[in-house]
Amino acid sequence: MKSLPKIIFTVLILLLIGTWTYHRYTQHERYENISRFDYLPKDSIDYSYYDQPALRIYLDNCTKLTDLAKTLWLKNGVDIYTARTGYGEIQSKINRYNSLLRYTKMIEVRLSESKDLKDQGLANDVIEVILDKGITVGAVENERDKMAAYEFLKGKNVSARSPQNEIWEMQKLLNANDYNINITGIYDAATDSALLDFQKSNNLFASHVCDDVTLKKLAE
C-alpha cells in the first residue's frame, strides 16, 4: 500500500507527459502546412496595370486573405477551404473572408485580362478603353477614328460647299454609324440623304449641314 502514492504520482506524470506530447503534436500539425493558406498574387496579372490604386488594393487583399485564413486555422481550428458555417465571431470571420475573396477575384480577372492584352502589344490607354467599355480591339480603333474626325471637323460645319477632305471625314463618320455610302469627298445625294436621315433619327435639326451638335452625335 505504501507504493500506491508512487503509482498515482507516476500515472499523473505519464498523463502530463501524454497531454503535453499531444498538445505539441497538434500544434506541430497545425503549423506544419500553414503555407497552404497563403493567397499569393498570380503570375498572370499585369503589374503595370493602368489603374495602379486597384493593383495595390489587390496586393493588399492577398495579404489580408492570407492573414484571415491563418488566424482562423491557428486560433479557431477552422480550415477556410472546407468550412461553410460557424458560430458568432467565427462565422463573421468566414463571411469576411468569402466577401473579400470575391472582390479580390473580380480585380484579379481584370488584371489577368490586362496582362493578356498587353502581351498582344496593346498600351494601357487602349486596354483601359477595352476593359472599361467592354469592347473589342477593333472597336477601340473605331472609337479613335471617330474622335480624330470629331477633333478635325469641330467648328467647320460641313456642307456641300466644304473642302473635299472635310466631306471625306464626315462620310467616314456616317459610315461608322451604319450608313453605307461611298467615301469620295464629294457631297453627293447619297451623302446628303444619309446626313438628313441621321439628323432626323436623332431628333436633330435637319439642316443639310454637319454642325457641331450633329458632329458630336456622330462621334459618340
Torsions phi, psi for 162 (to 5 deg): -80, 160
Place 19 in a pLDDT band, splitting at 50, 70 and 90: low
Pick 3 or 90 by higher pLDDT. 90
| Predicted local confidence at residue 11, as pLDDT | 64
Reply yes or no on whether the pLDDT at 1 is more than 70: no
Terminal-to-terminal C-alpha distance of the chain: 101
Q: Which amino acid is at 164?
A: Q
Torsions phi, psi for 181 (to 5 deg): -110, 160
Q: For 147-157, how does the pLDDT look when each residue is reduced to its tens digit (9 = 90+)?
A: 899 999 999 99
177 within 8 A of 198, measured Cβ to Cβ? yes
Q: What is the mean pLDDT of the segment spanning 109-137?
A: 91
Residue 45's SS3 state is coil
Q: What is the mean pLDDT of the segment spanning 34-61?
A: 96
Q: Which three cell numbers stand for residue 27?
A: 500544434
| Predicted local confidence at residue 20, as pLDDT | 58
**Percentage of the chain with pLDDT > 90?**
70
Sign of the CA dihedral with 204 first, then 208, 213, and 214 last: positive
| Predicted local confidence at residue 57, as pLDDT | 98
CA 206 from chain centre, in angstroms, equals 42
**What is d(CA 26, CA 139) in angstroms, rounded to the nearest whole number?**
59
- Name the average pLDDT for the chain: 89
Q: Give Cα separations from 162 to 155, 169, 171, 172, 182 (angstroms).
A: 12, 11, 12, 15, 17
Reply yes or no on whether the pLDDT at 199 is more than 90: yes
| Predicted local confidence at residue 15, as pLDDT | 72
Show Cβ contacts of residue 96 under 8 Å, excluding neighbours closer than 6 positions: 68
**pTM exceeds cut of 0.75:** no
| Predicted local confidence at residue 113, as pLDDT | 96
Q: Name the residue among 187, 182, 178 with its Cα closest to residue 158.
A: 187
